[in-house]
């Protein structure tokens, strides 16, 4: 579906340096850096991030975090699913299918996916086959949750 190769990113100094180019760089990335410096995690450990390289440079990334079924408040029956966040393509590489490749990769893992569609990205997520949930103020707290479900999975009423 795409000519981009999606790779699971390793936690090492090179990856964390690449992350600094992205807009959504924050406590999660700093925490990974600190853990690396303190030898709490190994160099080249697997991270929750997936990405696309072009000529050796990271140009797009997303994080996929597996949520245990017991915390599921979106799907019926309750089940393990992925939260997808920090989907970001560097500005000069947008509109070439990198975002689509990352989302298709996430879907290929076979579990439902929940994301927070930010900054009026609703059309992108709908194109990716995601649907908006019915907003629940207590659960969603200002988020804009969109979900994708594999066959046989429904949304919680």
Contacts of 124 (CB under 8 A, 6+ apart): 99, 117
Asked whether position 120 contacts its own copies by CB under 8 A, the answer is yes
The answer to whether 151 and 73 have CB atoms below 8 angstroms apart is: no
Cα 31 to chain centroid distance, Å, stands at 18
Instruction: Please report how close the Cβ of residue 1 comes to its own copies at its closest, in angstroms.
Output: 26
Asked whether position 72 contacts its own copies by CB under 8 A, the answer is no
Alpha helix ranges (H) inside 12-96: 13-19, 27-37
The answer to whether 45 and 57 have CB atoms below 8 angstroms apart is: no
Nearer Cβ to its own copies, position 101 or 117? 117
Q: Backbone phi, then psi, for 142, in 5-degree steps?
A: 85, -10
Instruction: Please report how close the Cβ of residue 110 comes to its own copies at its closest, in angstroms.
Output: 21
Asked whether position 99 contacts its own copies by CB under 8 A, the answer is no
Q: Considering only residues 5-24, where is the footprint of its own copies by CB under 8 A? A: 23-24
Asked whether position 134 contacts its own copies by CB under 8 A, the answer is yes
Q: Mind giving me the DSSP string for 72-117?
A: --SEES---EEEEEEEEE-GGG-SSSHHHHHHHHHHHT-S-EEEE-
**Interface stretch with its own copies, choices 36-44, 91-99, 103-111, 127-135 (CB under 8 A):** 127-135
Asked whether position 2 contacts its own copies by CB under 8 A, the answer is no
Strands 113-116 and 81-89: parallel
Asked whether position 27 contacts its own copies by CB under 8 A, the answer is yes
Question: Which member of 7, 83, 93, 97 binds its own copies (CB under 8 A)?
Answer: 83
Binding site for its own copies (CB under 8 A): 23-28, 30-31, 48, 63, 65, 83, 85-86, 117-120, 122, 132-135, 137, 140-145
């Amino acid at each position: 579906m795409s000519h981009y190769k999606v790779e699971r990113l390793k936690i090492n100094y090179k990856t964390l340096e690449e992350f600094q180019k992205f807009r959504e760089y924050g406590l999660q990335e700093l925490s990974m850096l600190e853990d690396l410096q303190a030898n709490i995690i190994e160099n080249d450990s697997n991270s929750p991030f997936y990405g696309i390289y072009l000529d050796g440079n990271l140009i797009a990334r997303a994080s996929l975090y597996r949520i245990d079924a017991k915390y599921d408040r979106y799907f019926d029956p309750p089940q393990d699913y992925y939260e997808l966040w920090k989907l970001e393509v560097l500005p000069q590489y947008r509109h070439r299918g990198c975002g689509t490749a990352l989302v298709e990769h996430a879907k290929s893992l076979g579990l439902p996916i929940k994301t927070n569609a930010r900054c009026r990205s609703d059309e992108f997520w709908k194109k990716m086959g995601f649907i908006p949930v019915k907003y629940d103020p207590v659960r969603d707290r200002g988020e804009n949750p969109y979900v994708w479900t594999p066959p046989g999975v429904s949304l919680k009423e």
